[in-house]
Every structure is written in C-alpha cells, then in structure tokens.
Amino acid sequence: MASEALPHPERSRSEQSKDAKPPIQPNAETTPAEAVPAFAGSPVMLQYHEIKRAHPGCLLFFRMGDFYELFFEDAVAAAPALDIALTKRGRHNGADIPMCGVPVHTAEAYLARLIRAGFKVAICDQVEDPAEARRRSNKGPVKRAVVRVVTAGTLTEDGLLDARRHNYLAGIAEAGGEMGLAWLDLSTGSFALAPTSEAGLGGDLARLMPGEIVLPERLLARPPLFELFGEWKAALTPLANPRFDSEAARRRLESFYGVKALDGFGQFGRAEIAAAGALVDYIALTQQGGAAYLMPPQRVLPGSVMQIDAATRRNLELTQSLSGERRGSLLAAIDRTLTGAGARLLAEHLAGPLTIPEEIKARLDAVAFFVDRPDARAALRERLRHCPDIERALSRLSLGRGGPRDLAALRDGLGETAAIRGSLAAPGLLPLPEMLAGAERGLGEHGVLVERLGRALAAELPLFARDGGFVAAGYAPELDQLRELRDDSRRAIAALQARYAEASGVASLRIRHNNVIGYYVEVSAANVEKLGGNLGPDFMHRQTMAGAMRYTTVELGELESKIASAAERAVALELRLFQDLVGEVMARRQEIAAAAAALATLDLAAAHAECAVDGNWVRPEIDTGTGFEIRGGRHPTVEAALAGSGAFVANDCVLGEDRVWLVTGPNMAGKSTFLRQNALIAILAQIGAFVPASAAKIGIIDRLFSRVGAADDLARGRSTFMVEMVETAAILNQAGPRSFVILDEIGRGTATFDGLSIAWAALEHLHEVNRCRALFATHYHELTALAAKLPALACHTMRVKEWQGDVVFLHEVAAGTADRSYGIHVAKLAGLPAAVTSRAEEVLQILEKGEQGGALARLADDLPLFRAARPLATPEPKPSALEDMLRDIRPDELSPREALELLYRLRSLLPD
C-alpha cells in the first residue's frame, strides 16, 4: 500500500511565481495559451468547467503540465484529506479560486489517500500532443479528456490495492420480485453472481467485503434494507434505476462476451443478470473504454457455501481480530501462501466454506498429496517464491495501463510454469489427485511467449512504457540503429567540445545540457574576458550567468536536433514494440489467466499442507450426517499464542445424540476458547484444510452462528446488552437442523434473574425448536437443571483443581457441572485490593447460606446481591449525644428563654 507519509508536492519556482516566465522546455506539455496565471477566465477554465460538469460526484484531477490540479470545491475538499496546502489561482466571479495540486509522477500515492477517504476521482489528461495544439489553426487549450474514473471498486494498481485480498465491486439488482447479486474484481478478472434476498444480503456482503457497491437508487429507499445500507454507507454508489434493466443488461453482457446468448455460461436469474450487466456498464463508464478482461461469470449456487453472518465473522476473528488487525485472525494463523493470488484464494475460501462434501474432498485430496510428499512440496514452494502477480499484471495490460514491469511479471511467472509442470509430471507423483491434475493442465504451455519476452525486455525496466529504454539491445535491429545514432551524436558532441576548446585555447570550455535551453557551450566569465569577449564568429550568445557565458553554434544545434530526433524515434519505436508484445499477450489472455488460476490453486494446496505439517493437523472426514466429533481439538490462534510454553490442552467435542452441550465453569477456565475452537475447526474442515485435532468427523454445516463476547457498539448506538440480544435473536430465528451454534454467556449484560431467564428460555428454544448442534457456555449453574428435562442436552464443565487455597485451571473439558464459579479467585488474579476480595468472601458465604435456605429463589428483586449484603455493609450506628439530647426535649414545656438556652447548648455539642 502507499505509504502514509507523502512528500509535499513541490512546485518548480516558475509554477509558483506569477511573474516568472513559463519555462521553455523542449518537452513542455502546456501550450503558451494556458500559461500559468491565465487560468481564471481563460479558455482552459471553460474547458475545466465543461469536463467537471460531465463528472458529477467526482473530484477532477485536471492535468496541467506536470501536475494534476484541483480547483474550487474539489480543492477545498481534497487539500485537508491530502494534507497539502490550499492555494489560489486567479479570481472567478469576484472571489479567489481555491486550488491545490499533486505532481503527476507521484499521483498514485495521493490517489490512494483520496480513495481511502471515500472520494471518487476523475483523471483528466491531455489527450493531444501540446505541439500539435500549438500548430492547430484554431488556437485553444490542449485537448483534455477524462481517461478514467478511479473508484474504490475499480482499482488495478498495486499501490492502491492489498496484494493479498480481492477488491470486489459488487452490484445489487432486483427484477421480477427477486434480488440478484454480482461481484467482480477488475484487478484479476474474476466475475461471479448469485441470487440473494433482503434477509440474505447482509451475510452475502459480509462474505465479499466489497470495496464498492453499485445499486439502483430505488433500493436505497427500501425500509428493511435501511440498517444494512447504513453499515455499508461509505461503499455505496447508487445509480439511476434504468441502468439495472435486466433486458438491457442481458444484451450488454452478450455483446461484452461476444456471444449470442448467455446460456453457455449457465442459467441465471433475471435479477442476477441485471446486477452483472450494471457492473459491466459501470466498468465501461469508469474505465472510459479500456477493454477490461473479465472471465465468464460463475454462478454461485444458493446453499453451496456455508452461511456466516457479519457478527459471527467478527466474533470468530476469521480475517481480522476484534481490534481490526490481520494479526491474531484465523487467516493470519493459517496463511502460508507465497503468492498474492494464492493468498487471495485462501481469503476467498475462508470467507465462504463449502457445503458440498465432494468439493471439499477434492480440495483435501490436493492438500493430503502435498502433506505426504514433502520434497515435491518444497520444490513447488521454491518455484512459487519467484512467481509475481500474473493476474493483476494481465488486468492492467488489458485496460491499457500496463507497463514494461507487467510484461516482466508475465515473463517471470509464466517462465516458472514449465518447470512446475515438469516436476508435477514426475513419474513418482502420478497419478495426481483430480484438482492437481486440473491445475497441471491449466498451467498450459507458454514457451514461445516467455522466450519472446525474455529477448525483448531489458534488465532494468521503467514503470511506464513512455519512458523508453526497456527494450533489450539486440531485440530490434532498427531500434539498435537509432540508439547508435543517438549515442554517436553524443560522442560527436564530446569531439566538438574538444575541438572548440583547442581552437579557443580555453581548456575548461564545456558543452553542457539542460532541459530549458538544451545543449550549450559554457565558458567562464574570466576566460571570455581573456579572449576579449569574442570566441569566434561561430559562437552566438545565449545566456549570461553569474560567472559564465553560454553560447550556441549552428553545428551544435544540428547535432542536438539529430540526437533529439533519434531519441524521439527510438521511444516511438519502443512504444510500437510494446504494443506488439501486449497484443501477443492479449491474444493469449485466456491461457494466461488459466495459468494464473492454476498457480494459485497449487500455492494454496501446498500452503495448507505446510500449515498442517507444522502444526500436526489432521485431515477431517466430511459427510452429510449431522454428527460432530472432534478428538483432541485445539484452538489454532490461542495455541499459536501459547507456542513455546507448549501448554495448550486439547479437548474432545462429540455432538451426537447429545447435540447440545452446556458448558459451565469458572471465568478464565477456557470456555470461550473451547467454543470457538470447535467453530474454527468446522470452518477449516469445510474450506478443505486440515484441522488442529487428532481426529475430526463433521457432518456438513450449512450455517454457522456465534455469539461470543460483545462490546458496546456505540457507533450504532447499541449497548452491549442490545448487541447481545440482536445477535441472539438472529440465531434463534434462523438456526436450522444443519446449523452449528456457539453461544457464550448470554444474558450477562442484564440483571441476574433477567439474564438467567433469557438464557434458560434460549437454551430450551435451541434444543426444541432450532434442533441444531450447539455449544452453550454459561456461568448460570442453575441451567444445569435443564439437563434432566431436555434429552439431547449434556452438561460439561471446565475442570479446576483446588490446591492449598489456590485454584488451578486445568483447561480440560469433562462431563458434569461446575460446583463453584471461582469469580473471587479471578478477581484476586486481576489485582483487586485484598480488602475487597476478603470482604467479598464474607458476603459470598452469607449469600450461599441464604441460597441454601431457599432465600435466593424467593427473591423477587432483580438485585439479590445488594439486598442481602446491605445489613452487613452498614452496621446499626450508636446514637450521638446530640441525638440523645434532642430526643429528651419536650417542646410544649419550654419557656422562650429555656428554648433559647437549649439552642445554645445544642450548638455547643457540634464540633466547630
């Protein structure tokens, strides 16, 4: 990603000063007609306004010379976001015109910031040669046009993207009363669609985490979706409703893929087509005709991935820890991939575990293959280390914004495929599991292209083709000749310098070059004086400097134009050669995309194997039943965190006839860890990875729910308890017989009896109505009474050992119930003052006595703790002397004088 600390865009002096003449540069890109001070009221400004009007909702990066300038409200909005100075340039309608700008060559870093801050940016470039504009009869500003609109969902540059994650553009549409969802990653060409629904949309978006969502304006006004769209507000791009017309969308897709009907790609619903068509349209709109490469859309069948809602994803810390970092997440713990594409595939798999056993088995076969063959794995991984990101390079080249380095990425990545294919075809490895055999075929044959790129590209490559110098010597004889001409002329200049020095007798005479006046002869002022101010008839004066004079000669001028034209022709030729190479790549892009996909598959399978071997993980068995049998299960991230101490205690979890486990035990005993580890093992198994256990057998889980811990969601105005109840409601309303639910400590955020009652009723509902597999952790021991009533409920507890007045957590799950909660012990560990914990022991004893007597059960009060504790906390105080005296007073019997004296006496009893 682009660095946060951006250099301040420095301007040349001439750009900053209004009085300075515009520099005369050989390659100046502005025309004199738009010299810097003339912006206000000039034809350029009219041009600016016209282009700005055509791109509402975008900041306009308006190319002027070496800068992209922003004006008016754009400048006011962008300057603080970029942390650059807001200046002004002329006046408009009597007011200063605010302006800021960024240098073209570092624009990407600034763009990254603006996109992250939620802006869209229209890039307006000069689309004709300024020299051309000068020659035109109708003098006017150089032609400009928006060449691209940069939005969060349509990024392709490595500097703007995370190499290890997809960046999806999603589209939502509605047709015939159904909703459809489509998503694509412009930077890799992946494209998919699926039906969705008002209820399912939240989960689908949580799975994709799109960078941008296009949707029809009318959907924004749909009340059931208000809250969801509120959460995604920053990513929404509403578009006019007609853009989501399904018939127009179908035609657009057919013409995009050059097919007569979409049936060849699969059977899609109208709403899905409408969404997909709107995306293709949006790409055309933002890429201004750049030919995006998109693979044919894949349909994700309903029910083919495990449904996991946003809260569950967050709670289980699948791709981010609760603090929002990648570190500490499941993804970070298991990611051993070596390529960007492999990492993206892993993140994609983790977001949507499979529900079809055959597909999972195919992935597991591939992993097992590499687990069993460490040498093949190591050899493959060594090759993968040298594979650059082919997918993203290909996409940039398709869109016409690739450079020589993208070609080099293809050369290097595709260059590895032959060796990888060869090693997979080794007789000892055959037959390959189906998925690897497919990948091996997918790698394809790219020898000709790789050889050509190898010959064509120089060792050092510029970022942009227009900079030239990237074609290797010996690749194109014509180019070699031009370069020779250019270099010969440079040598001729050196010879000329020697000749002039000799003729004039000034040994220090130099021929130099700068961008403003080109080549010139420079002689120090002292030497000029020695020669009587005259070097000879050939020398024409150009400039007088502080200590030197600059001249030019006809001969020097001729040589200079030879050099310039040779260099210009060389760059033009290089650009043509570049286009030829790109053309060759484009002709093979399907094969190249297939090779890239194959490399990602291989990378991921070998990475899972690496992880499995490192952690001693096993292959899970997957079937269509509803069993769940984990032996010796471990928590992947907690175990990793405890690594070294080697202290993680493995636990079994066997849900069969007893499909609901009630887990009691003290705080800090490991209940949450146990619950989460089983959910994570299920996810790992269903993405086709090995799992941290000694054995695992899992009946396919179609939906996973978790309610684990919670923090106040103040941003959405919800208290902890509210968050807890919203999440619990989702589970109780949606879980079905194939779901897996983990519920940790529900009812904690409210008063004791309230909480206990909610937990009680929720447990009954899970058991009787949802009938799912569930792990239910609680500190309400009272719930264990339900075991007698609910046949599929089993009680388990975290074992604890008391030793010399101390408590040792064994982190072991055993059948039975906990007899105490050891909260005070944990409070001691946490450092509560000793006075408080010993007082708490006393209060506890009293409370427990009360409970034995049935007192607690009779209490209707929500806060029995305080009621029972109060008499102890405030012992009856002795009456004071003042109170004694007051009590003895008989007011009716006092004379006024006695009353006054009494008042004085009472007052004297009070301390001063």
Question: What are the residues binding ligand ADP (CB under 6 A)?
Answer: 638, 647-649, 665, 667-673, 811
Distance set, CA 292 to CA 64, 346, 669 (Å): 28, 24, 54
Name the residue among 133, 131, 132, 109 with its Cα closest to residue 121: 109
Q: Of 191 and 648, which CB lies nearer to ligand ADP in the complex structure?
A: 648
Q: Of 647 and 714, which CB lies nearer to ligand ADP in the complex structure?
A: 647
Nearest residue to the partner ligand ADP, using Cβ: 670
Nearest distance, CB of residue 693 and ligand ADP, angstroms = 12
Query: Given the DSSP bridges, would you call strands 660-664 and 793-803 parallel, antiparallel or unpaired?
Result: parallel
Q: Of 329 and 673, which CB lies nearer to ligand ADP in the complex structure?
A: 673
- Express the helix, strand and coil content of the chain in percent, nearest 5 each: 50, 20, 30
Q: Of 45 and 649, which CB lies nearer to ligand ADP in the complex structure?
A: 649
Distance set, CA 11 to CA 86, 126, 773 (Å): 13, 19, 66
Burial annotation 737-774 (CB, 10 A radius, 16+ → b, else e): ebbbbbbbbbbbbbebbebbebbbebbeebbeebbbbb
Name the residue among 689, 653, 685 with its Cα closest to residue 773: 653
Q: Of 341 and 693, which CB lies nearer to ligand ADP in the complex structure?
A: 693
Looking at residue 189, its amino acid is G
The token pair that represents 213 in the structure block: 């969502």
Cβ 689 vs Cβ 333: under 8 Å:
no
The token pair that represents 40 in the structure block: 């206000």
Nearest distance, CB of residue 403 and ligand ADP, angstroms = 49
Nearest distance, CB of residue 627 and ligand ADP, angstroms = 23
The token pair that represents 314 in the structure block: 């967050």
Q: Of 345 and 669, which CB lies nearer to ligand ADP in the complex structure?
A: 669
Cβ 47 vs Cβ 84: under 8 Å:
no
Q: Of 147 and 763, which CB lies nearer to ligand ADP in the complex structure?
A: 763
Sign of the Cα pseudo-torsion (506, 512, 517, 519, in order): positive
Nearest distance, CB of residue 669 and ligand ADP, angstroms = 4
Nearest distance, CB of residue 600 and ligand ADP, angstroms = 34
- The three state secondary structure string of 147-198 is EEEECCCCCCCHHHCCCCCCCCEEEEEEECCEEEEEEEECCCCEEEEEEECC
Nearest distance, CB of residue 650 and ligand ADP, angstroms = 7
Q: Of 349 and 811, which CB lies nearer to ligand ADP in the complex structure?
A: 811
Q: Of 47 and 678, which CB lies nearer to ligand ADP in the complex structure?
A: 678
Nearest distance, CB of residue 223 and ligand ADP, angstroms = 38
Nearest distance, CB of residue 599 and ligand ADP, angstroms = 38
Cβ 39 vs Cβ 90: under 8 Å:
yes
Nearest distance, CB of residue 48 and ligand ADP, angstroms = 59
Q: 562: helix, coil or strand?
A: helix
Q: Of 109 and 668, which CB lies nearer to ligand ADP in the complex structure?
A: 668
Q: Tell me how many degrees the CA angle 540-546-547 measures, rounded to the nearest 5.
A: 80
Nearest distance, CB of residue 709 and ligand ADP, angstroms = 8
Q: Of 656 and 709, which CB lies nearer to ligand ADP in the complex structure?
A: 709
Cβ 362 vs Cβ 434: under 8 Å:
yes
Q: What residues contact residue 597 under an 8 Å CB cut-off, 6+ apart? A: 341, 442
Query: Given the DSSP bridges, would you call strands 793-803 and 773-778 parallel, antiparallel or unpaired?
Result: unpaired
Q: Of 411 and 671, which CB lies nearer to ligand ADP in the complex structure?
A: 671
Sign of the Cα pseudo-torsion (839, 840, 843, 844, in order): negative
Cβ 786 vs Cβ 793: under 8 Å:
yes
Nearest distance, CB of residue 635 and ligand ADP, angstroms = 7
Q: Of 252 and 825, which CB lies nearer to ligand ADP in the complex structure?
A: 825
Nearest distance, CB of residue 859 and ligand ADP, angstroms = 27
Give the other-Cβ count within 10 Å of 306's Cβ. Answer: 23
Give the integer Cα–Cα distance in Å for 42 and 34. Answer: 8
The token pair that represents 878 in the structure block: 């002795």
Nearest distance, CB of residue 841 and ligand ADP, angstroms = 21
